[in-house]
Amino acid sequence: MAGVSGPERRYRYVGPAELTALVRPEAEGRVVRSAADLDDWLAECARAERAEPFTYVVGTDGRLRLAARRSEHVVCAGGRDVLAAGEVRFEHGSGHWTAVEISNQSTGYCPDLDSWPAVARALDGVGVGHPGGFTHAVVFRRCEECGERAIVREGDFVCVFCGGDLPARWNVAP
């Protein structure tokens, strides 16, 4: 996937306002600065938890932050804007970690597919292998007729809420 031209897009939180009340410094995602940080954090997680994807964000500082899967992205990000958000599952093999599943699935930030380069840089920066693109890519749009956030499924740019046409270009936040 081609990189983003110009400055990277920042995604602000667009999800339910009541979830921002959950944001607290002690609840923020764990910042991963190295493969050793990832080793330490995953060692603290239960085996069953390590088998499923984690919530992640890439902060505007370019750092990967991780939290348990059922955590809200806005909490993981400390309420701040992000360069990317979604879910990631890791596997360990040949002496290093690899992100084997990774998505941009975050209904709180609704990041576009152009967020991948930020994810790749964050993973590369800590020495974590990755597939080179989202393994599950989600296309988000805001319906200009009813205002709802929608997911485009199978290339069908039609709002499931009102039947209106969804725009071809990302438009979830100003």
Q: How many CA atoms lie within 13 A of 96 on its CB side?
A: 11
Burial (CB < 10 A; 0-12, 13-18, 19+), residue 43, is exposed
pLDDT of residue 84: 98
Chain segment 141-160, per-residue pLDDT in tens? 999 999 999 999 999 999 99
Q: How many CA atoms lie within 13 A of 136 on its CB side?
A: 15
Residue 3 has pLDDT above 70, yes or no: no
Q: Which is nearest to 89 in space by CA: 51, 43, 46?
A: 51
Chain segment 77-123, per-residue pLDDT in tens? 999 999 999 999 999 988 899 999 999 999 999 999 999 999 999 99
Domain boundary assignment for the chain = 17-137, 139-174
Give the mean pLDDT of the chain: 93
